[in-house]
Amino acid sequence: MQLQDIKLAIVGLGYVGLPLAVEFGRKRPVTGFDINRRRIDELKNGNDFTLETTREELAAAKHLIYTTNIDDLRACNCYIVTVPTPIDEYKRPDLTPLIRASETVGKALKKGDIVIYESTVYPGCTEEDCVPVLERVSGLKFNRDFYCGYSPERINPGDKEHRVTTIKKVTSGSTPAIADLVDGLYNEIITAGTHKAESIKVAEAAKVIENTQRDLNIALINELALIFNKMGIDTEAVLKAAGSKWNFLPFRPGLVGGHCIGVDPYYLTHKAQAIGYHPEIILAGRRLNDSMGAYVVAQLVKAMTKKRIQVEGARVLVMGLTFKENCPDLRNTRIVDIVAELKDYNCVVDVYDPWVSPEEAQHEYGITPVKAPESGSYDAIILAVAHHQFREMGAAAVRGLGKPGAVLYDLKYVLDPQKSDLRL
């Protein structure tokens, strides 16, 4: 197969798949496939609820068609799989979406076809878990009848500077010739260039350690914040001072959620344990980061008690629900840990976030955000996500949402230090 012979399909049109489909759709025919009919209908009408692409960008992808029909995939010969890879309630990799997507592709697979995975997995997953599914469903033989590639996604939701085309792309293939073809395909749209990895396993490992490294760095800063809080030292002031050295890394404490950093390390540790190695440092970082929601609430409750505010029955406003600022992404948001902890104290919790879909929040977490907070009604306020709307409100307006003497916890350093009662 040559580049000009590729008939491309993108399987999964979420935060990762849609921007990819749009960019390829500017240059070549692309079939965008998703099992969610509502998603397909919205895209056909030029609407992207993830806000990763604009109406103008969707319109510019003139060679992109949308479908929920598996039969439409049979006209393609190269499939890029971009479905989510979450973890289950026991922190174990949940490959269900990946296996189902592989079954879907397997039904369309023909001799000479290529399947490229972008979903974050542990090293070996493509060839050990996905390929057998493709072989079973299609009846074809790997690296004889069909081939695979792996090119990990590096999407940063809400980031309008680092887009799919401007982030260097790691590529790989199951044979040297396929690796070259996969690399050439991505080079059609990636202006930042590509890095061709030596194997699929190397590319898989590279992706999973990118976020494991970030997770551990944040865990270190979170632990420093716990220490400095006990010492009565302002953590942000310490980090600013240390940051005056050229090689000090600019990480900040906080909750670690989202589709990558709070999930990917568990894929690596799962594989490590499967081969008989217990990864102590990685899991220690995960435990610490996963405990931060409880720590935040414990700090808040202590501050409320010192002000003689009755905790049980107190009204608490949580400002922000998404896993990061200025995007509607609710995947693996750890704000829900704060909400759950507050409810354990029998607090009455209002969650306010102008970025989220109330229907999605209710479906995913059983939380229905308020349309607007009630001014002067809250015993405590947690400024949990640094949305630009919250920054623009300013300290006086935020405090105005609370009762006189209410505790204000600025979790994300949105306000000046002296304007809040607590900071992480």
Positions annotated as catalytic residues are 260
Which one, of 84, 86, 63, 88, lies nearest residue 9 by Cα?
A: 63
Max distance between CA atoms of the chain, in angstroms, equals 73
Give the β-pairing of 169-171 and 194-196: parallel
Q: How many residues in total does the chain contain? A: 424
For residue 242, give the 3-state DSSP assignment.
helix
**b/e burial code for range 103-137 (CB count within 10 A of at least 16 → b):** bbbbebbeeebbbbbbbbbbbebbbebbbebbbeb
Question: DSSP secondary structure string, 340-353?
Answer: HHHHHTT-EEEEE-
CB 117 within 8 A of CB 126: yes
Residue 166, number of CB atoms within 10 A of its CB = 11
If you search the block for the tokens 């030596």, which residue do you land on? 198
Give every strand in the sheet of 8-11, ordered side by side: 64-67, 30-33, 8-11, 78-81, 114-117, 147-150
